[in-house]
A and B are shown apart, each in its own frame.
Chain A
Amino acid sequence: MCDHHDKLRSNNKDLQQVEKMFDRREFLTKTSLGIGALALGSLLNSEKAWSSVKNNVQPDLAMFSRNDLGLPHHVPKAKRAIYLFQSGGPSQLELFDYKPKLKDLFGQELPESVRKGQRLTGMSADQTTLPIAASVIDFKQYGESRAWVSNAMPYLSEVVDDICFIKSMQTDAINHDPAITFFQTGSQQPGRPSIGSWLSYGLGSDNENLPTFISLISKNGGGQPLYSRLWGNGFLPTEHQGVQFRSGKDPVLYLTDPENYDGNDRRNMLDYLGKLNEVQNDFYGDPEINARMSQYEMAFRMQTSIPEVTDMSDEPEYIFDMYGKDSRDPGTYAANCLLGRKLLEKGVKFVQLYHQGWDQHIGCPGGVLGNAKKTDQANAALIKDLKQRGMFEDTLLIWGGEFGRTVYSQGKLTAKDYGRDHHPKAFTMFMAGAGVKPGISYGETDDFSYNVVKDPVHTHDFQATLLHLFGIDHERFTFKHQGRRFRLTDVHGHVVKDILS
């Protein structure tokens, strides 16, 4: 019975003397407490010692909240962003990366000196030949910046002077799932928080009545599936996950009161529910309870804020005309762009838009033209619209997919038609708006648009730059989870300074 928890106290004097002495266990307990107290003492003068991980979304204090994470680190250029994710991997060769020399090489084998043993996907690895396919879509130069844009994007060519093309993007993954997860979370394996969640966690909300991070998927895309982890919170507190809007007339379901219920006592109901949850929270301390409580409150506020923000009736005709006729059909890419603009205007920080369908393994020219038709006018309209509202100077707009496409044809190459496989080593993205140099093209690829020859920009570099524009040093913005401090850019990433204005 060597239990130290119950202390014996003796009447015998000699034994009492022994009892007064420290035993080893007691010594260790007391000294470690003492050292702990000392350490705590040295923290006393910094307020941070007492604050929880984060409280900048506490509704009561929300009116002024010093950011507990010490963010932003520097003056942010961007206050909000809209990320137009072109899922599937749009072909840089048919859109922005003009390679006229390929015309002469039509049908020739892709030289090994270019490929350098680069791995191929299972879809074209066993092809006996890798014939070079030049783009059948013509290119022209536009604007004062003389940027090359193909005929597939006539509307975008009007606004090239507002855009920064990055032609030297690179990623690590070659298949859709890991590549898109990599772009959105900084890791090919699922489980990390997405960009929008990081921003929501770090910078908090600009409008308590709406989620900070909203994702929209266009209904007129189709193709490779998307997964909710792409806008998931990973290990960050649950309230920072993206709220996915449905692509249809009612982006959020069940916001209206059911029949025969006037909703007048809902506030009371939520208050009582809140009290019950508070009891649970005191008992278990599970952060998920907090998340649940804040989401109930958010849903309550969204009952009024969402119908208002999704109401398109206050948009004038010419706005719809600018975004194209699709914009009247809720859930299309164009309508989502317009909705995205409205959300940003109302203080949503990060709108993540997805358009599927850019996976042209076969019928590349037709597929590119078809998707461009669905998206081009809205892309350009969004830039113009943000500009005239004065939002373009602090809104970051990003267009891009998870990888590019190969110069060689997957499947049969004919004069008019060909397919293109996934290509991670070189592709084009563009950024525009807040803090990004307008009217430039950054980085260069070789004559085959296969390797980057100048100024490569890796996915992590892009993520670091994005955070930088929001005033965040990507190396200092971490979250401790399972004993390790995690970053969006893991241990990589360099801010691409040359594209910053």
Chain B
Amino acid sequence: MKEVSDIVLFFGRFHPLVVHLPIGFLFFAFILEIMAKFQKKEVLRAAIPLALFFGAISAIIACILGYMLSLSGDYDTDALDTHFWFGIVTTVIVSIAWILKTDKLKNKIPSMAKMNMATITFIVVLLSITGHYGGNLTHGSDYLTTYLPFGKKEKIVIPKINSVEEAQLFAHVVNPILQKKCASCHNTGKKKGGLSLEGEPAILKGGKHGEVIVVGNSKQSELIRRVHLDPEEEEFMPPEGKTPLTKEQIQIIEYWIDQGQASFDKNIGTIETPDEMKTLLAQELGIMEKPGAGVILATAPAIPDSVYKELANYGIRIRELVAETNQLEISILPAGKEKLSTEKVSNVLRQLSKIKDNIVQLSIPENGVNDEHLKIIGTFQRLKKLGLEKNTITDKGLTHLVNLKELESLNLYNNEAITNKGTSLLSTMKNLKRIYVWGTTVEKKENDNKEDKENSQKFIF
């Protein structure tokens, strides 16, 4: 593309400012026309040619400036063409309208072609269309409709992933960063510096200064150079006023260019990845328990009101582990000296089993929970933490818990009847990390066998 002189671009950038003048003048002409017609204020009609005149003049200036701006090559040609031609047509028609309306030329024009309400309405429509296309060029074609009420929000669905290895480096990690931080100026519609970062071909093509990514060499890549600059510098990206990339995000993009060979379809599992990078990736993907940043839970199915009401009748406290996730933490403390009756506990548990997929933590201390109750609790597959201290559970009851695959912590203290026989059943539970057995009949065993040793470390006496 040939170089455009700076002065042309300087004036060109006044286009977005100047375009508002014809819009204002012509709308005002329209308003005058309506007032004159419907409120019978004929005197207003005299001002219409003036408004049209300035509308036409400013439209012509806007066209010229707009052309100058278009030379920068920052815009998508298809969208630009539409705006361009609509702009010119509008300007021409406005000029004709003024000619028809002005007193000076009135006599020379056949009376058939009188400027009327329809013409000026047509001008306003044209103006709106032109303006709309212009707006799309600057702000992106979905700018107007993104927050449209009742509108369908279409989102690109990326398949959900559970581990770093199975994630696609570009689609899951790099692309969302680019979309969030860069794509507002570098997209198919608005190509600042001739660069679009939407999709593989556009990214590889680069901008008007050439390629932005050198495969396998992030140091040579223009994209990386720009984000590393001092924010004060002219060439720093994203420009002033936009949110810069974080240090971690830059590292990830560098890793994508270097180790990932800027591939657009590789899974992270197939790329050699140091552990620190895995941590970063997991954080960016939001799938890892990262120290420092809190763990967010997925949202569980909604809980029917009837279950709430029923549980409220029993005085059961329900609480969300994380707000608005429907993942519940339920704690049934003994009320005063009164324990719940065996039957009542069964009823409560039966209610809870209706929402068993929502229960992550359950605590029923000192409430006479027995082996029968464990049968129900044993079906709460999502449980991570279970508190059953000070109850009357025996070894037999523990068999029901073996299927709780996600269980990490089990509190059994002061269930005196539990012995080693019962707890040995629990050794098959892979995720179970802590079993509290103080005040039970479970005894500490000295083991030399490595596996047994590991197993016995789970027990807290």
How near does chain B come to A497, taking the closest CB pair, in angstroms?
3
CA distance A154 to B333 in the complex (A): 36
Contacting A74 at CB < 8 Å: which of B294, B315, B434? B294
Partner of B413, one of A73, A389, A501: A389
| Contact of B387 with A by CB under 8 A | yes
Question: Per-residue CB proximity of B409-432 to A under 8 Å, as 1/0?
Answer: 101010000000000000000000
Contacting residues of chain B (353-376) with chain A, CB-CB under 8 angstroms: none
A64 beta carbon closer than 8 Å to chain B: yes
Selected interface stretch from B20-28, B40-48, B124-132, B317-325: B317-325
B461 contacts across to A, CB distance below 8 A:
388
Q: Which of B318-339 contact A (CB under 8 A)?
A: 318-324, 331, 333, 335-337
Q: Does A390 contact B (CB under 8 A)?
A: yes
Flag if B312 contacts A74 (CB, 8 Å): no
Interface residue? A16 (CB, 8 A) = no
- A66 and B324: CB pair below 8 A? yes
Min CB–CB distance A248 → chain B (angstroms): 24
Chain B contributes a number of interface residues (CB within 8 A of A) equal to: 36
Contact status of A65 and B319, CB under 8 A, knowing A75-B294, A75-B295, A387-B460: yes
- Given known contacts A64-B312, A393-B434, A500 and B291 CB-to-CB distance under 8 angstroms: yes
Chain A 35-77 interface residues, beta-carbon cutoff 8 Å to B:
62-67, 69-76
Assess whether A347 is interfacial by the CB under 8 Å rule.
Answer: yes
Interface of B is mostly: loop
Query: Closest Cβ of chain B: how far from A206's Cβ, in Å?
Result: 7
Say yes or no: is B84 at the interface (Cβ < 8 Å to chain A).
no
B389 at the interface (CB under 8 A from A): yes
Q: B333 touches which one: A65, A69, A347, A497 (CB < 8 A)?
A: A347
B144 on interface, CB distance cutoff 8 Å? no
B236 within 8 A of A: no
Encoded as 1 (CB less than 8 Å from any B CB) or 0, chain A from 436 to 467 comes to 00000000000000000000000000000000
How far apart are the CA atoms of A245 and B74 in the complex, in Å?
A: 71
Q: Which residues of A contact B291 (CB under 8 A)?
A: 497-498, 500-501
- Any chain A CB within 8 A of the CB of B109? no
Contact B312 A471 (CB under 8 A): no
Decide if A304 is an interface residue (CB 8 Å cutoff): yes
Q: Is A240 in the interface zone, CB < 8 Å from B?
A: no
Asked if B294 and A63 sit within 8 Å, CB to CB, the answer is no
Q: Is the interface of A mostly helix, strand, loop or mixed?
A: loop
Question: Do A67 and B320 form a contact, CB below 8 Å, given A75-B297, A206-B331, A389-B436?
Answer: yes
Report the minimal beta-carbon distance from B93 to chain A, rounded to whole angstroms: 35
The answer on a CB contact under 8 Å between A304 and B336 is: yes
A389 to B292, CA, bound (A): 27
**Chain B residues positioned under 8 Å from A206 (CB to CB):** 317, 319, 331, 333
A495 within 8 A of B: yes
Most buried by B among A305, A471, A498: A471
Selected contact of B389 from candidates A76, A389, A500, CB within 8 Å:
A389
Query: A74 with B308: in contact, given A389-B438, A501-B291 (CB under 8 Å)?
Result: no
B296 lies within 8 A of chain A by Cβ: yes
Contact with A along B47-68 (1 / 0, CB 8 A): 0000000000000000000000
Give chain A nearest CB distance to B304 CB in angstroms: 12
Q: Which of B293, B308, B331 lies in contact with A64, CB distance below 8 A?
A: B308
Write the chain B residue with the least CB distance to A68: B323
> Residue among A63, A206, A347, A388 with the most chain B CB within 10 A?
A63
Q: Are A63 and B315 in contact (CB under 8 A)?
A: yes
Answer whether residue A473 sits at the interface, using C-beta atoms and an 8 A cutoff.
yes
Q: Is A308 an interface residue (CB 8 A)?
A: yes
Check: B311 CB closer than 8 A to any chain A CB.
yes
Q: Are A74 and B296 touching (Cβ within 8 A)?
A: yes
Whether the Cβ atoms of B294 and A73 lie closer than 8 Å is: yes
CB distance from A315 to the nearest CB of B (A): 13
Using Cβ atoms and an 8 Å threshold, which residues of chain B touch A141? none
Hey, which chain B residues are within 8 Å of A73, CB to CB?
294, 322-323
Check if A390 sits within 8 Å of B436, measured CB to CB: yes
B317 cross-chain contacts in A, Cβ below 8 A? 62-63, 206
Question: Quick check: A63 and B409 within 8 Å, CB to CB?
Answer: no
Give B contacts to A, CB under 8 Å.
291-297, 308, 311-312, 315-324, 331, 333, 335-337, 387, 389, 409, 411, 413, 434, 436, 438-439, 460-461
Complex A-B: 20 CB contacts under 8 Å? A63-B308, A63-B316, A65-B319, A72-B294, A74-B296, A75-B321, A76-B321, A206-B333, A209-B335, A305-B336, A388-B436, A388-B439, A389-B411, A389-B436, A389-B438, A390-B409, A390-B413, A390-B434, A495-B292, A500-B291
- A73-B322, A388-B439 are known contacts; what are 19 more A-B pairs with Cβ within 8 Å? A63-B308, A63-B315, A63-B316, A64-B311, A64-B318, A66-B323, A74-B322, A75-B321, A206-B333, A209-B335, A209-B336, A308-B337, A347-B333, A388-B438, A390-B409, A390-B460, A393-B409, A471-B322, A495-B292
Closest 6 A/B residue pairs (Cβ): A74-B294, A497-B292, A390-B436, A390-B411, A63-B312, A388-B438
